[in-house]
Structure 1
């Protein structure tokens, strides 16, 4: 009870405050939290992004930012067309909770229902017939505790005894599935399951050319057969509106094609973290529109082309973390729309020729595992005409030759790890469109001057974490578009002068035993002491109506100056672990070392009365070497410049105020002379006194003269 209450409080603490309850908020059960939620913020949406997450994790494993292949996201389009705001109820199942009573209290117009079983709450059973009352239900999520964790562990049983024809998204996690005799159809035990047999029950399915015929299976008594089938799987026949079905960590050990019979709208099927060892023939033939299939984290021992046959709309296939040991031309059926295939973390030892010949539209493939070395044969990748990204982990091969990479003319990103002691001079001639080549942790010790011949479009080259102790002069001269070079964690002691081309914007040379000398004077600290950082783009929906929100990616990349990655000296001994640039400038005082300097303005205390010219005179110019300036100095410089600009503007305002005062005094003087003229005209009958006054003022300059009449009518000057 205590643990259940804790989970409930933890759950409610993550509910967004901005979401409000719908109309019947007072009728929400005490065990539940009711709120409005956008469909893209549910866990259902996260499961549709697994293709992008797979590539992201692979790129992070190699320490690089990901330039992922982007696909058309039909799932988002489906959400926009459908109801995007859902009336959501999240309920906690505790020890004393009766599911039927709880469901009676939940509002009938709920769109998304999540039931979470608390720890030590006992065995709970939910029947599909109990949910028939929710005719507006679109999303159903059931989450149990860990199965078979203890002898008296709590189990969450979901019994499929009714069809929820309107349900679109079903997520079952750590739930025991059970089928009911009411929805269980009896098959002829003497008939063999072939394509013709399947067509009896799916007359509208597409024809396929593979037919499985073999020896008859063991005939069981009828009652034993029914009981075995009932306990082994639950059929989702009648869930005809399902778009996504996830059965994760549910102790599923056997698949039957009848499980997915009639799921004609199913697009996302996730069966990860179960105990599957085999896939029967045509197992997914009942879901012809399937676009994403995940069988990751199972125990599959073999993959045959009849296992996955019929998935002509498939775009994402995840078979990672299984136990099959080889891939051949008999492993995969045609996938005319496949974009990403993940075979990673399997003990695959060899890939035979023509294995991927049927995957002629695939964009990205992931192969290899950390535990088992992988071997490649000639023509292993023939047919991958549109492949853009290839990731191979733990590749063991004596010589990387051109014949191994034949068949991938569109390849742009190639990621390799393993044991590759030698690379032929023309190894990359067949993949001359490469833009990113990562060969870290490949046990490379020597490079020839023509190793990267033909890679005229290469922008990123990573040779870090190898055993390279010598770089031949001119190695990078044949790479005219190279922008980033990673040589960290090698055995380099020195390199020839001018080896780094001027096109480079980032060079990593840290963690090498450098022998410091003035021969390194041409190294540029602002390029070598850099890191690449991923920055989220600012998406302003309020002011620019989403114009700044691009559809391709929500991140951009920038280079940041970071002295911590500066290469360090290993010799002479007195300068061990000292920065190469510091030793050249302060210790060796190399005359040829002239790093690019940045101009820094330091502001002195000034007052508003000081003019802009005085500020410019009092400003001190100082120059500091780039390797000693970090990101904080840059911010300080910008702050000083901004302060100087504010003072300059203040002085401009002050001068403008003085000018206004001067003009005001001139105006007062003019008005005073005008009044004197009017007085004179009144007493003297119109004498042209203004001319005399003007002449006197002009003749006397600055001094101001005043006149008045005496008692005898004569004009007299008053000092």
Structure 2
């Protein structure tokens, strides 16, 4: 039950009405008793509603319903951690609307002392700016969650809030006070950091021989402690030193464009940090060295132009890194420090043109990588003997947008042995043979909207576990024979939106296929299409649903996730040479092709006990070998069994009456 505070009146009558309403809200009758008219308090915990200010709404709220909790739970699900979900059922929350500084000074003394969550929403204008000192919140020593939102508000950090666990600041200004106590270090974090990339460890001569590419030099800008303190006094950068219990910190849209290595010092419990939309242009060395237990870091929607490995140095527990929507143009081995536990990296909406070798050598456990921007095309290629994604041996998902390459060549995806999902968008003219070699775990391959016009016959060789293949909305005019001979687990093939006119019969021989999208192609219909099946081409896969087998009590015994397939007649392929009529209508009504023949793969194309079909290139080789070895041989005739011998033909002719010669008939007529 939620209990809301009521705006205090100025008259005694209003006060009396307020007291009566509060009394009715916190009490209820006892049912099923002779004392039905007697009222008693609820068993649930109650707020000190009498002290709730008039500009606030006080209520008991589930922690998972708080704005910051929704983000916390979202990030927790991203890296498979549900510890944040185990929160108390109810949280004592006060949500206050503040329009001026005077209103804040009036209501802060009336806030309930046992408050656990406070949300301040500033709705004033530029002339009446709000300034909240952290020292004014110290009497609320049971406060665990603090949120301040609103353009024009300022949070002055003059005293640490050591009891706070979750903090969310949106579109406000953060300012430090002169009386704020800052830590004094005897040495910089660089004194204990030993990692250096190969280009900085090896001599120039040896490095140029072993690594033929030269990398950009990004020297770190580390100053003395006295110089740094002088800069802090000039810029009045905030510091969260002393907020030792803080676990989640969001600073979004607060114009925090400058960071320093003391800002997050001492936050040993901090695990989620969000610094989005702050116009940050550069990460100073060891910017997050005071929060080494970070699991999630978001620097999205800023103005970062380059990355140096010292900026993210020391984050050995980091699992999620979001750098989307910045201004990064190139990545090299100097971009990232060792991130041994990184699971997800999001680099989308960065104008990255080149990925130099060694970029991801220190991200060996990464499972998901996203890249691509509309501002610049990503040059997808190999560098000498190096691939662009070397050492990402545990990667499961790779999504690349706006790639650009004339030919997707072999070696581009070298090292991605465990990749399961690959999605490409951009401009790719052709797919070379064995381009996906070694990707034995690949299950979904999406190369749509890339302008592909040529496919090698062996482009998908070795990808034997593929279940989903999309080549839709390209410029394909021909599908090579035997293209999918090695993909016996395919369930869905999408070829819609191309320039195809004919199709090999092998597409309808796949044993597990459920969907073959062929619409939006200029098909030239003929009786060769009589093996097409409408229950494969006119269907679409629906969303995944959970189906369970239940016992007599309705409890699930076993469950599985299935994707239902639904019929959609709008997906029917159509004939360009028959005025756009349906392929199946033309076959049935206009071509009169007769009964549909059931195609079976020839027995000589099967090998082993499993009956797996040979790939097309192997069929060609076997045919050539047999033609070379073929020699004339003596044929022995058996009259009792052979029906194609000369003796058999003559005997059959002697048993039939022969017509008279033409000359004899003419002489008789004469």
TM-score (norm 1): 0.68
| 1:521 CA displacement | 2.4
| 1:187 CA displacement | 6.9
For 1:262 and 1:362, how far apart are their aligned partners in 2? Answer: 28
For 1:534 and 1:48, how far apart are their aligned partners in 2? Answer: 27
Q: Specify whether residues 382 and 507 from structure 1 end up closer, same or farther in structure 2 by C-alpha distance, changes over 3 A only.
A: same
For 1:525 and 1:88, how far apart are their aligned partners in 2? Answer: 59
Q: Find out whether 1:109 has 2:109 as its counterpart.
A: no
Match of 1:73 among 76, 80, 84: 80
| 1:303 CA displacement | 0.4
Q: Which residue of 1 aligns with 2:182?
A: 185
What pairs with 1:601-616 in structure 2 (closer than 5 Å)?
Answer: none
Structure 1: which 5+ residue stretches go unaligned?
A: 1-19, 53-69, 146-154, 197-205, 596-719
Q: Which residue of 2 aligns with 1:513?
A: 522
Match of 2:565 among 555, 559, 570: 559
For 2:273 and 2:288, how far apart are their aligned partners in 1? Answer: 10
After superposition, give the CA deviation of every residue in 1:647-686 in whole Å (9 maximum; x if it has no partner): xxxxxxxxxxxxxxxxxxxxxxxxxxxxxxxxxxxxxxxx
After superposition, give the CA deviation of every residue in 1:535-583 in whole Å (9 maximum; x if it has no partner): 5659999x98986898xx9x8632222222222333323xx2x433344
Q: Matched residue of 2:94: which SS? A: strand
For 1:247 and 1:23, how far apart are their aligned partners in 2? Answer: 29
For 1:49 and 1:370, how far apart are their aligned partners in 2? Answer: 31
Q: Find out whether 1:429 has 2:437 as its counterpart.
A: yes
Q: Specify whether residues 186 and 495 from structure 1 end up closer, same or farther in structure 2 by C-alpha distance, changes over 3 A only.
A: closer
Q: Which residue of 2 aligns with 1:592?
A: 595
Q: Matched residue of 2:300: which SS? A: coil
Higher helix share: 1
For 2:93 and 2:548, how far apart are their aligned partners in 1? Answer: 27
Residues 491 and 512, structure 1, Cα contact 8 Å, conserved in 2: yes
Q: Find out whether 1:312 has 2:328 as its counterpart.
A: no
Q: Specify whether residues 593 and 175 from structure 1 end up closer, same or farther in structure 2 by C-alpha distance, changes over 3 A only.
A: farther
| 1:399 CA displacement | 2.2
Match of 2:142 among 133, 136, 143: 136
Find the structure with the greater CA-based Rg. 1
Q: Which residue of 2 aligns with 1:397?
A: 405
Q: Which residue of 2 aligns with 1:195?
A: 190
Q: Specify whether residues 49 and 344 from structure 1 end up closer, same or farther in structure 2 by C-alpha distance, changes over 3 A only.
A: farther
Match of 1:411 among 407, 410, 419: 419
| Stretch moving more, 313-322 or 100-109 | 100-109
For 1:255 and 1:32, how far apart are their aligned partners in 2? Answer: 34
| 1:587 CA displacement | 4.8
Match of 1:22 among 36, 41, 46: 46
Residues 332 and 357, structure 2, Cα contact 8 Å, conserved in 1: yes
Q: Which residue of 2 aligns with 1:604?
A: none
Q: Specify whether residues 72 and 278 from structure 1 end up closer, same or farther in structure 2 by C-alpha distance, changes over 3 A only.
A: closer
Residues 489 and 510, structure 1, Cα contact 8 Å, conserved in 2: yes
Q: Which residue of 2 aligns with 1:448?
A: 456
Q: Find out whether 1:525 has 2:534 as its counterpart.
A: yes
Q: Specify whether residues 117 and 557 from structure 1 end up closer, same or farther in structure 2 by C-alpha distance, changes over 3 A only.
A: farther
Structure 2: which 5+ residue stretches go unaligned?
A: 1-43, 201-218, 599-670
Q: Find out whether 1:297 has 2:301 as its counterpart.
A: yes
After superposition, give the CA deviation of every residue in 1:134-179 in whole Å (9 maximum; x if it has no partner): 122111111113xxxxxxxxx0111111111111111110011111
Q: Which residue of 2 aligns with 1:172?
A: 169
| 1:100 CA displacement | 2.5
Residues 531 and 562, structure 1, Cα contact 8 Å, conserved in 2: yes
Q: Which residue of 2 aligns with 1:34?
A: 58
Residues 133 and 158, structure 2, Cα contact 8 Å, conserved in 1: yes
TM-score (norm 2): 0.72
Q: Specify whether residues 119 and 517 from structure 1 end up closer, same or farther in structure 2 by C-alpha distance, changes over 3 A only.
A: farther
Q: Which residue of 1 aligns with 2:292?
A: 288
| 1:412 CA displacement | 1.1
Q: Specify whether residues 274 and 221 from structure 1 end up closer, same or farther in structure 2 by C-alpha distance, changes over 3 A only.
A: closer
Q: Specify whether residues 540 and 572 from structure 1 end up closer, same or farther in structure 2 by C-alpha distance, changes over 3 A only.
A: closer
| 1:584 CA displacement | 3.5
For 1:187 and 1:44, how far apart are their aligned partners in 2? Answer: 32
Residues 286 and 311, structure 2, Cα contact 8 Å, conserved in 1: yes
For 2:114 and 2:75, how far apart are their aligned partners in 1? Answer: 33
Q: Specify whether residues 414 and 102 from structure 1 end up closer, same or farther in structure 2 by C-alpha distance, changes over 3 A only.
A: same
| 1:519 CA displacement | 3.1
Q: Matched residue of 1:571: which SS? A: helix
Q: Matched residue of 1:137: which SS? A: coil
Q: Which residue of 1 aligns with 2:15?
A: none
Match of 2:153 among 153, 156, 178: 156
Q: Which residue of 2 aligns with 1:622?
A: none
After superposition, give the CA deviation of every residue in 1:380-408 in whole Å (9 maximum; x if it has no partner): 21111111111111111222222221111
Match of 1:477 among 472, 485, 495: 485
Q: Matched residue of 2:135: which SS? A: helix
| 1:272 CA displacement | 0.6
Q: Specify whether residues 498 and 358 from structure 1 end up closer, same or farther in structure 2 by C-alpha distance, changes over 3 A only.
A: closer
Residues 539 and 546, structure 1, Cα contact 8 Å, conserved in 2: no
Q: Find out whether 1:335 has 2:344 as its counterpart.
A: no
Q: What is the RMSD computed on CA atoms of the aligned residues?
A: 3.2
For 1:556 and 1:85, how far apart are their aligned partners in 2? Answer: 37
What pairs with 1:211-230 in structure 2 (closer than 5 Å)?
Answer: 225=231, 227-230=233-236
Q: Which residue of 2 aligns with 1:534?
A: 543
For 1:339 and 1:215, how far apart are their aligned partners in 2? Answer: 30
Q: Specify whether residues 218 and 384 from structure 1 end up closer, same or farther in structure 2 by C-alpha distance, changes over 3 A only.
A: closer
Q: Find out whether 1:579 has 2:592 as its counterpart.
A: no
For 2:80 and 2:222, how far apart are their aligned partners in 1? Answer: 44
Q: Find out whether 1:257 has 2:256 as its counterpart.
A: no
| 1:261 CA displacement | 0.7
| 1:593 CA displacement | 5.5
Residues 492 and 513, structure 2, Cα contact 8 Å, conserved in 1: yes
Q: Specify whether residues 157 and 216 from structure 1 end up closer, same or farther in structure 2 by C-alpha distance, changes over 3 A only.
A: closer
Q: Which residue of 2 aligns with 1:465?
A: 473
Match of 1:358 among 359, 362, 365: 362
Q: Specify whether residues 276 and 144 from structure 1 end up closer, same or farther in structure 2 by C-alpha distance, changes over 3 A only.
A: same
For 1:30 and 1:585, how far apart are their aligned partners in 2? Answer: 77
How many residue pairs get matched? 527
Q: Specify whether residues 348 and 226 from structure 1 end up closer, same or farther in structure 2 by C-alpha distance, changes over 3 A only.
A: closer
For 2:588 and 2:94, how far apart are their aligned partners in 1? Answer: 67
